[in-house]
Amino acid sequence: MSFIRPGHRAEQLVDELCITSAADLDVEAIAFDQGVEVRYEALNGCEATLVGYDTKAIATIRRATSRGRERFSVAHEIGHWLLHRGRSFRCRVDDIVQNYSSEVALEKEADEFASHLLMPTNILRPIIKSLSKPTLQDLQRVANDFDVSLQAMSIRLAALDILPVIVACYGHNGLKWFSRASHVPSKWRLKRLLDEDSFAYDILNDRVEGNKSGKQSADAWFENDDADDFELLESSMPSVSGQVLVMLYLNDIEMFERGYSHYAKKG
């Protein structure tokens, strides 16, 4: 039996259920269809549990202030049920960013499943392509339509690899995490600490309120010696826990290998 990627399995499920819009992504209904009863309770020490027998399971989800966190937890447990049936789980799945840093293979598989279930490629791709050069404010509206967190949507955007973007999160102690579209050259090395010339630095240090987007020197973001030869588009906005979320759009084709851009070919 050939191995099916967790994300592909989630996309298959979306197709099987004839889901064609973000509004139809009722994660509790999907769980019920797959034999999983969802309960919301106060949990200590974990965000969700899954216990199943035969063709039925109970997923217990910790109540959260963010509906996006609850939905991701439910989708994560559906992933465990379909991918890892026969096991019981106590999961820390309240935030996709935390999940992506997990060292446990089964948790990563459930994370990938959840991401694709809540943000299916066939539904999300045309929406993103219609935005041309989106800012984080644009992406926030898309995240709201899919009822997921902006962090989750930004990471999913990078994974789609249809726009030349790097998304990252910074705190006062530096870089927390980042994700790049796969065709963005890995030679571009993000600075570990925010540059004072970046919009993100101003937001993090309360020099400006709200969001800020616009052209920026690549030298403000990358350690590379030749970074000051290029410009990019920076979009930054406040995030959770006093952090700042950043999206860098590499719109200069010369930043790509041999002047070639996978994204230009896609139009």
Q: What percentage of the chain reaches a pLDDT higher than 70?
A: 89
β-pairing, 231-238 vs 174-180, is: unpaired
**Domains 6-118 and 134-266 agree in fold:** no
The secondary structure of 218-247, three-state, reads: HHHCECCCCHHHCEEEEEEEECHHHCEEEE
State the CATH architecture for 6-118.
Orthogonal Bundle (1.10)
Confidence of residue 178 (pLDDT cuts 50, 70, 90): very high
In this structure, the chain runs to a length of: 267
24 secondary structure, DSSP code: G
pLDDT digits (tens, 9 = 90+) for 203-227: 999 888 889 999 999 999 999 999 9
Least confident of 29-43, 61-75, 85-99: 85-99
pLDDT digits (tens, 9 = 90+) for 126-147: 999 999 899 999 999 999 999 9
Confidence of residue 173 (pLDDT cuts 50, 70, 90): very high
125: left (phi over 0), alpha (psi -120 to 50) or beta: alpha
Domain boundaries of the chain, sorted by first residue: 6-118, 134-266
Confidence of residue 94 (pLDDT cuts 50, 70, 90): very low
- DSSP calls for 54-85: TTEEEEEEE--S-HHHHHHHHHHHHHHHHHST
Identify the burial level of 34 via C-beta atoms within 10 angstroms of its C-beta, where 0-12 means exposed, 13-18 middle and 19 or more buried. middle
Helices 136-146 and 121-129 cross at an angle (nearest 10°) of: 150
Confidence of residue 114 (pLDDT cuts 50, 70, 90): very high
pTM: 0.88
Residue at 192: amino acid letter: R
Identify the burial level of 247 via C-beta atoms within 10 angstroms of its C-beta, where 0-12 means exposed, 13-18 middle and 19 or more buried. buried
Q: Which CATH number among 3.30.450, 3.30.70, 3.40.1000, 1.10.10 corresponds to the domain 134-266?
A: 3.30.450
Which pLDDT score, from 0 to 100, does residue 37 have? 95
β-pairing, 89-91 vs 56-62, is: unpaired
